[in-house]
Structure 1
Amino acid sequence: PFFQPSFILQRCPSYIEKQNFTRVSEFFLMGLSDDPELQPLIFGLFLLTYLVTMLGNLLIILVVSSDSHLHTPMYFFLSNLSIADIGFTSTTIPKMMVDIHTHSRVISYVGCVTQMSIFTLFGCLDNLLLTAMAYDRFVAICHPLHYSVIMNPGLCGLLVLVSFFISLLYSQLHSLMVSQLTFFMYVEIPHFFCDPSQLFNLACSDTSTNNALIYFMGAILGGVPLTGIFFSYTRIVSATLRVSSTVGKYRAFSTCGSHLSVVCLFYGTALGVYLSSVASHSPKKSAVASVMYTVVTPMLNPFIYCLRNRDIKRAMQKFLRRTA
């Protein structure tokens, strides 16, 4: 059915016009709004959000690396999560601000595929690092006597490397599938970055196999880590409830509070965006909703860890005093 005239005419109306038949070399990112009066406000909000995200995550990286008391697996994963958040936001926000400033919405085909690949890489890396952090908390609370043996530096480094290479393979899979698609003439992406789902919807070629593969891989790379996190916290809650003292219970839950808040924020916003896009069927509303997990979540992560973690707060105060 994808090669019937009606389908070609619907998806690619210029397909049958031989004189206008060209292969796409650029896309047009439509952004969040077409209203010219809103553009300065959007630019200012995104600039402020980006600066806060960069400063917050860079501060966590500097504090963890400068304080010897924070050279533990938990904060090693946290600093890598901050690096992933910096890469995640730097892939989309600067390009959007440049487009607003220059009044240009053009992005080259190579630039679009590159942006999509890097965005997918850091998004998947965020997901896997949160899973590694859940495993770290599970070992710390359920097997405290063997914690230093199990969570040794070699295993921690291996978990980060494996997470990176899995994310890299997943992002390259996206790039490979998009490179096989055919686009024609003027292509508008109703988003502020090159979202893979939007590219599949705008393609003139058959994307049924690509969509099935993406959903399958997404279910594995989303479902398996989420199941691991759920299993870890089930065991953590069970072990904590067996502790007799109230102080012990509070201490156990306080060590997991920051991570659990970030997990709920990350998966909650991503699931909310998915459900809203399914319910509304509006690409514009989906683009606005995606701001939550692409922009807001990386900005809030440093605040969550700084406000809920006493070790981070103490180390940050010492770092700021030394800097001053």
Structure 2
Amino acid sequence: MAWTVTQGTNNLTTGKADDSESSQTALAVVVCTFATLGLALNFLLNPLMLLVLHRVTSIQPTTKIFMVSLTASDLGSGLVWLLELPELFLGAWPLGGFLCAATGVMMFTTRAMGVFSLLLLTVNRYIAVSRPLRYPTLMTVFRSKVIVCSTWAAVTAICITVYGIYHPKYILESGPLKLCIWESDWRQYVSIVTMLSVLLVVSFLYVHILMIARRHARRIATDNQVGNGQAMGQIPQNVSTRSTTTVVIITGTLMVSWLPTVIILSTLIPETDFAGYRIFLLVNLTDDFLLANTWLNVIIYYLRNRDLRQTIHLILSAWLSHLCRGPRP
């Protein structure tokens, strides 16, 4: 009887272990698949958008500077992910201790610059909408370059100090898995507060931009009400709908991309928890959402702009025409 109970307990334990291993394998497949697709879209769209920004002439030079900063940070995040991808497929870090520490610094730098570039682009747009007459003097090309370069320099210096000099990422040698990890400490709370603060500011500014756009649209509708059949001060439906849709897309994408990371950082406290392979996969799953944001930015900020869409169409048409003609004899 005792043997039967023991055998049943062993079988139950083995069954739970098998189920856990199967779910862990499925999670690893999902994480690797989304990471690969995200990298492919990142390297396909972001270089194309840099070329488009170089070609397009209808966008203000100051706005192009902030858009280049955002695109460069998104492309940099993809390059860091390219270094981290072998660890996902192999289940171990194969690139040595120096690159382990370096990827930690580069990862936080590019992510932080993606957030702050988005903030700079939003502030630039807010100034252009709220102060249209003073905008050319408030935001010059020189000032835009100084702002972007100063932000990159400050963020890089802070990330090198906080994530490179102070407890950089290291290869875990004590456990069965040789993973490149970082210590879970006060820095994660700093990251959470910074991300949430920027997200709230960006969301607030876009809501304010929407209110200003609706007010401008109402004024235009009032000035042109004769003969258009609209009541006094009524907002044109297409203007209101498009502005609202833009705000919802921007804020919604930010929340969906960053909230999983905020949640996992908030619950990830002990270092031993991070060393587990399942936690490692969950962290990388949230990173997949951040990677998706690097190419979703292209769709939101570029493909919704008519001039940029036309430039993309011209570039792709020229490439297709060149391919169809083939090499000249």
TM-score normalised by L of structure 1 = 0.70
Structure 2: how far apart are the matches of 1:77 and 1:94?
Answer: 26
Structural mapping, 1:168-183, within 5 Å: 168-172=156-160, 173-179=162-168
Query: Offset of 1:42 from its aligned partner?
Result: 6.3
Deviations 1:93-115 (A, max 9, x none): 34314763x77543422211100
User: For residues 123-174 of structure 1, what are the alpha-carbon distances to aligned partners after superposition, in whole Å with 9 as ceiling and x for unaligned?
Assistant: 0000110111111111111111112111210121122112202220231111
Query: Given the alignment, which residue of 196, 199, 221 partners 1:226?
Result: 199
Task: Say whether residues 1:296 and 2:292 are aligned partners.
Answer: yes
Q: Aligned partners of 1:254 and 1:134: how far apart in 2?
A: 17
Q: SS where residue 68 of structure 1 aligns?
A: coil
- The aligned residue for residue 6 of structure 1 is none
Match of 1:85 in 2: 74
Aligned residue for 1:15? Answer: none
The number of residue pairs the alignment matches comes to 275
**Equivalent residue number for residue 279 of structure 2:** 283
CA RMSD in angstroms comes to 3.7
CA distance in 1, matches of 2:154, 2:255: 19
Q: Say which of 249, 268, 271 aligns to 2:256.
A: 268
> Which position in structure 1 is the counterpart of 2:135?
147
Would you say the 8 A contact 2:210–2:243 is kept in 1? no
Contact 2:52 2:311 in 1 (8 A): yes
Gaps of 5+ in 1: 1-32, 202-210
Per the alignment, residue 215 of structure 1 pairs with: 189
Residue 58 of structure 1 corresponds to which residue in structure 2?
47
Counterparts in 2 of 1:274 and 1:235: CA distance versus 1, 3 Å: closer
Compute the displacement of 1:45 (Å): 5.1
Q: Does 1:319 align with 2:315?
A: yes
**Structure 2 Cα separation of the partners of residues 136 and 255 of structure 1:** 17
Q: CA deviation at 1:176?
A: 1.5
Tell me if the contact between 2:168 and 2:182 (Cα under 8 Å) persists in the aligned partners. Answer: no
Q: Which sits farther off after the overlay, 283-292 or 250-259?
A: 250-259
Give, in whole Å, the separation in 2 of the partners of 1:259 and 1:154.
29
Q: Deviations over 1:63-84 (max 9, x none)?
A: 1101222353223222221111
Structure 2: 5+ residue stretches without partners = 1-22, 222-233, 322-329
- The answer (yes or no) to whether the contact 1:88–1:119 under 8 Å persists in 2 is yes
CA distance 1:228–1:253, shift in 2 (3 Å):
farther
Q: 281-290 or 246-255: which moved more?
A: 246-255
Equivalent residue letter for 1:89: G
Equivalent position amino acid for 1:60 in 2: M
The 2-side partners of 1:105 and 1:285 are apart by: 14
Cα gap change, 1:271/1:55 in structure 2, threshold over 3 Å: closer, same or farther? same
Q: Note if 1:35 corresponds to 2:31.
A: no
* Among candidates 81, 99, 102, match of residue 114 of structure 1: 102
Structure 2 counterpart of 1:225, one-letter code: V
Given that 1:189 and 1:199 are in contact with CA atoms closer than 8 Å, whether structure 2 keeps it comes out as no
Contact (CA 8 Å) 2:70, 2:117: kept in 1 or not?
A: yes
1:38 & 1:222 partners in 2: Cα distance?
Answer: 27
Q: Is the 8 A contact 1:88 1:294 kept in 2?
A: no
Equivalent position SS for 2:133: helix
In structure 2, C-alpha distance between the alignment counterparts of 1:289 and 1:36, rounded to whole Å: 12
User: Given the alignment of the two structures, is residue 308 of structure 1 paired with residue 304 of structure 2, yes or no?
Assistant: yes
Kept in 1, the 8 Å contact 2:210–2:244? The answer is no
In 2: Cα distance, 1:87 partner to 1:256 partner = 31
Q: Distance in 1 between matches of 2:123 and 2:182?
A: 35
Q: Is the 8 A contact 2:129 2:209 kept in 1?
A: yes
Distance 1:158 1:259, change over 3 A: farther
Match of 2:145 among 148, 157, 166: 157
In 2, Cα distance between equivalents of 1:250 and 1:135: 25
- Asked whether the 8 Å contact 1:57–1:86 carries over to 2, the reply is yes
Question: Amino acid of the residue matched to residue 63 of structure 1?
Answer: V
CA contact (8 A) 1:61 1:79 kept: yes
In 2, Cα distance between equivalents of 1:238 and 1:38:
44
1:32-80 superposed Cα distances (whole Å, 9 cap, x missing partner): x8639976x8656544432221110111100110122235322322222
In structure 2, distance between residues paired with 1:129 and 1:250: 29
- In the alignment, the residues of structure 2 paired with residue 213 and residue 38 of structure 1 have an alpha-carbon distance, to the nearest angstrom, of 27
Deviation at 1:215, TM superposition (A): 2.3
Aligned-residue offset at 1:256: 9.0
Task: Give the letter aligned to residue 212 of structure 2.
Answer: A
